[in-house]
């Protein structure tokens, strides 16, 4: 469990994270989404105690990261993919980590098999491809058999086979009851991996919702009617928004097409069109973060 409570992080004048609060629960993959510069990496660094909040508080499994007696056994992390420039083999890299954290040698063997690096385990890490480097990073994150995993953009630069591998791994780790928190700026990837999504923009929380709630958010009904103005007044209510998108055309969020049809019928408003529309998650994400995008192409 990760609890972020009212966290703000300033770098000089720049507010990277702005009064952010959310909870990441065990037994699920939680996607952490936002456009470039939204504050995802900064938030993850604060969870891991690598950066200190200007104000607010971050707890992992009920404590600050640094208060855990054996943090590697509580939280495993894969931060931004960087080539590990080392003359050591993958095996010795992991063994050195294990020995300094009181983790038994056999766990090194286990994680090497788990991430599929057995064949190259004795090769120098310096010669690893990006994909092999990512697998090694995941092996290091899993070394302490942690209850919580934090991964910053784990699929960056991976080929389709690597992407699928990470996806299946994250899902199986969550199914074991672990807390899995993974950042991405790609909604399409998260749609296939995550159960819950936290979306931020310019350091602020935009949404925290289950994948099915997100899918529902993208649903609307397009209605064409000559009495559109009157119909609009009849439809608007709690949880229902109605936008006039063209003369005589409404976009209704929060009602099924059958409900709209019944209202129109009761008030003798003839409908020329009644079409359920499902926006892709990608569209829903773009809509939500439109105002939070730092750099946009001039259109």
Ligand X SMILES: Nc1ncnc2c1ncn2[C@@H]1O[C@H](COP(=O)(O)OP(=O)(O)OP(=O)(O)O)[C@@H](O)[C@H]1O
Would you tell me which residues interact with ligand X (CB under 6 A)? 11, 14, 16, 34, 36-42, 185
Identify the H or E element spanning 174: helix 160-175
Q: Is 162 left (phi over 0), alpha (psi -120 to 50) or beta?
A: alpha
- CB 298 → ligand X: shortest distance, Å? 20
Instruction: Name which of 297, 291, 58 is nearest 181 in CA terms.
Output: 58
Q: Please say which residue, 78 or 117, places its beta carbon nearer to ligand X.
A: 78
Q: Please say which residue, 42 or 179, places its beta carbon nearer to ligand X.
A: 42
- CB 23 → ligand X: shortest distance, Å? 19
- CB 185 → ligand X: shortest distance, Å? 5
- CB 133 → ligand X: shortest distance, Å? 18
Instruction: Name which of 15, 16, 18 is nearest 6 in CA terms.
Output: 18
Beta carbons of 139 and 94 less than 8 angstroms apart: yes
Q: H helices of the chain, where?
A: 40-47, 71-74, 90-100, 105-114, 130-142, 160-175, 187-193, 211-217, 228-235, 257-266, 281-289
- CB 16 → ligand X: shortest distance, Å? 3
- CB 294 → ligand X: shortest distance, Å? 7
For residue 203, give both structure tokens: 């350091």
Q: Please say which residue, 36 or 100, places its beta carbon nearer to ligand X.
A: 36
Q: Please say which residue, 80 or 246, places its beta carbon nearer to ligand X.
A: 80
Q: Please say which residue, 185 or 196, places its beta carbon nearer to ligand X.
A: 185
Bridge partners of residue 149, in order along the sequence: 76, 180
Q: What angle do CA 45, 103, 150 make, to 5 degrees?
A: 25
Q: Please say which residue, 41 or 179, places its beta carbon nearer to ligand X.
A: 41
How far apart, in whole angstroms, are the C-alpha atoms of residue 276 and residue 220? Answer: 6
How far apart, in whole angstroms, are the C-alpha atoms of residue 175 and residue 149? Answer: 13
């Amino acid at each position: 469990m990760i609890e972020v409570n009212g966290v703000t992080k300033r770098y000089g004048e720049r507010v990277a994270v702005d009064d952010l609060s959310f909870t990441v629960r065990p037994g699920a993959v939680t996607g952490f989404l936002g456009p470039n510069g939204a504050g995802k990496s900064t938030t993850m660094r604060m969870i891991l105690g690598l950066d200190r909040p200007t104000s607010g508080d971050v707890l992992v499994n009920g404590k600050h990261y640094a208060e855990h007696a054996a943090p590697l056994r509580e939280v495993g992390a894969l931060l931004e993919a960087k080539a590990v420039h080392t003359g050591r083999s993958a095996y010795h890299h992991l063994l050195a980590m294990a020995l300094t954290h009181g983790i038994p040698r056999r766990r090194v063997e286990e994680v090497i098999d788990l991430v599929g690096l057995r064949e190259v385990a004795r090769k120098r890490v310096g010669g690893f491809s990006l994909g092999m480097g990512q697998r090694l990073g995941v092996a290091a994150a899993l070394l302490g058999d942690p209850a919580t995993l934090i991964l910053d953009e784990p699929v960056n630069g991976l080929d389709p086979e690597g992407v699928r591998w990470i996806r299946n791994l994250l899902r199986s780790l969550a199914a074991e009851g672990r807390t899995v928190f993974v950042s991405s700026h790609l909604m399409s990837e998260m749609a296939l991996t995550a159960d819950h999504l936290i979306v931020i923009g310019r350091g602020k929380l935009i949404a925290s919702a289950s994948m099915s709630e997100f899918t529902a958010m993208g649903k609307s009904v397009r209605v064409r009617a000559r009495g559109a103005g009157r119909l609009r007044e009849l439809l608007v209510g709690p949880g229902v928004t109605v936008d006039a998108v063209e003369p005589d055309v409404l976009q209704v969020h929060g009602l099924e097409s059958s409900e709209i049809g019944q209202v129109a019928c009761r008030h003798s408003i003839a409908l020329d069109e009644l079409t359920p529309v499902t926006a892709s998650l990608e569209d829903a994400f773009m809509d939500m973060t439109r105002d939070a995008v730092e750099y946009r192409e001039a259109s």
